[in-house]
Amino acid sequence: MDCRTKANPDRTFDLVLKVKCHASENEDPVVLWKFPEDFGDQEILQSVPKFCFPFDVERVSQNQVGQHFTFVLTDIESKQRFGFCRLTSGGTICLCILSYLPWFEVYYKLLNTLADYLAKELENDLNETLRSLYNHPVPKANTPVNLSVNQEIFIACEQVLKDQPALVPHSYFIAPDVTGLPTIPESRNLTEYFVAVDVNNMLQLYASMLHERRIMIISSKLSTLTACIHGSAALLYPMYWQHIYIPVLPPHLLDYCCAPMPYLIGIHSSLIERVKNKSLEDVVMLNVDTNTLESPFSDLNNLPSDVVSALKNKLKKQSTATGDGVARAFLRAQAALFGSYRDALRYKPGEPITFCEESFVKHRSSVMKQFLETAINLQLFKQFIDGRLAKLNAGRGFSDVFEEEITSGGFCGGKDKLQYDYPFSQ
């Protein structure tokens, strides 16, 4: 899990709400129903409903904005809490599940089940389903879990379903392994992003994120909008966006677009004229509906051309479009740009391992050197280095797909002593 995701949350979800939207923005949405009934965090109960209708409710309907989307709240420990939503009744009702687990596909499917129960007025089944999941320990990745409800719901990994095809007719969920690379079509976010945005704009957006710009993504479909935000951010792995992160901005928070610091914000197209009337400075804007990107910067030109060219060629190959091909192409680019961090680690017996910025930058091509001189000041890179040093100095080895990509691609000096001084694998 990433450093913005809470490790070991207490429950699979914290709250489910049924919220009604008024015909006017001047009236706050109303909570019609909640589970559990004794949920007492008033701040959450007041803030979440305002995120449930992040569009101009006086101008558009659900048919125009779509059904599913996911907003994010950031807690006092800078951990992300996800609000998985499904609009019903023409966009006037929203079902929302609040959870620390980034289980997009699982919760979208559960929302469909809940909406079906409500439509059929099966409130007992709905409550029993939620109670079973709420009281169940958080399942580990790829661990099958049975919830005993009238219509059995099955949480399982794909392999279990392949091994036991009799389970397929049941309503089931896949307990995701969020530590792996996202795959197409299993990852709804990455799939929608890859389908909606062409390769050139994906590259431009990636470059802007690596320069920590103010970035705004616009779409008329909420599902596509939030998928593009979550999907593009995931391609920074093993780094994570460290600044303002609002996958879909509700009307009452539009002033965030004027923030002087970097941000990654999603805006429904019904609100964009209001946003443009504000004083926006140096904002990168990607309109997903028209597949156009406007930027006052030349961020892509600042990246080494060989890295960009290799990434572009990989993304345009048909074979890349399924499985982990897209995620692995960006992983290879990240390894090419940052993999030599290993060569800049410094070790002296009896002292903590440190990172030498000067060593990281020098002995590189002029374009790469220029990029790295900027990169060492990025929050996402600082956070990455701090995380690696913390693990090394705590005596914990680590091995992940990024380290494997560095080794297989030969993106570090390959000094033998690294394998002994710095335990990259457990």
Looking at 153-157, 166-170, 203-207, 263-267, which range is the least confident one?
Answer: 166-170
Task: Output the pLDDT for position 165.
Answer: 43
Mean per-residue pLDDT over the chain, rounded: 86
Residue 166's pLDDT band (cuts 50, 70, 90): very low
Residues 6+ apart with CB under 8 A from 223: 66, 67, 68, 69, 192
Burial status of residue 374 (CB atoms within 10 A of its CB: 0-12, 13-18, 19 or more) = middle
Write the CATH number of the domain with boundaries 1-144+167-178. 3.30.450.200
Which regions of 247-335 does DSSP assign to beta strands (E)? 263-268, 283-287, 292-294
> Residue range 256-260: average pLDDT?
92
Q: What is the pLDDT of residues 95-146, one digit of tens each?
A: 999 999 999 988 998 899 899 888 888 888 888 889 888 988 888 877 766 6
Which amino acid, 51? Answer: F
Q: What share of the chain is helix, strand, coil (3-state, %, to 5)?
A: 45, 15, 40
Residue 420's pLDDT band (cuts 50, 70, 90): very low
Q: Indicate whether 417 pLDDT > 50.
A: no
Task: Output the pLDDT for position 171.
Answer: 47
Q: Indicate whether 169 pLDDT > 50.
A: no
Q: What are phi and psi of 346, to 5 degrees?
A: -120, 135
The strand pair at 263-268 and 145-147 is best described as: unpaired
> Residue range 206-228: average pLDDT?
96
Q: What is the pLDDT of residues 222-244, one digit of tens each?
A: 999 999 999 999 999 999 999 99
Q: What is the pLDDT of residues 316-343, one digit of tens each?
A: 998 888 899 999 999 999 999 999 999 9
Residue 184 has what DSSP assignment? B
Residue 174's pLDDT band (cuts 50, 70, 90): low
Rg, C-alpha atoms of the chain: 23
Q: Indicate whether 357 pLDDT > 60.
A: yes
Nearest residue to 339 (alpha-carbon basis) of 299, 375, 393: 375
Return the ∠ at Cα 202 (arms to 188 and 191), rounded to 5°. Answer: 15
Which residues share a beta bridge with 94? 19, 87
SS3 call for 148: coil
Report domain extents, the chain: 1-144+167-178, 333-409
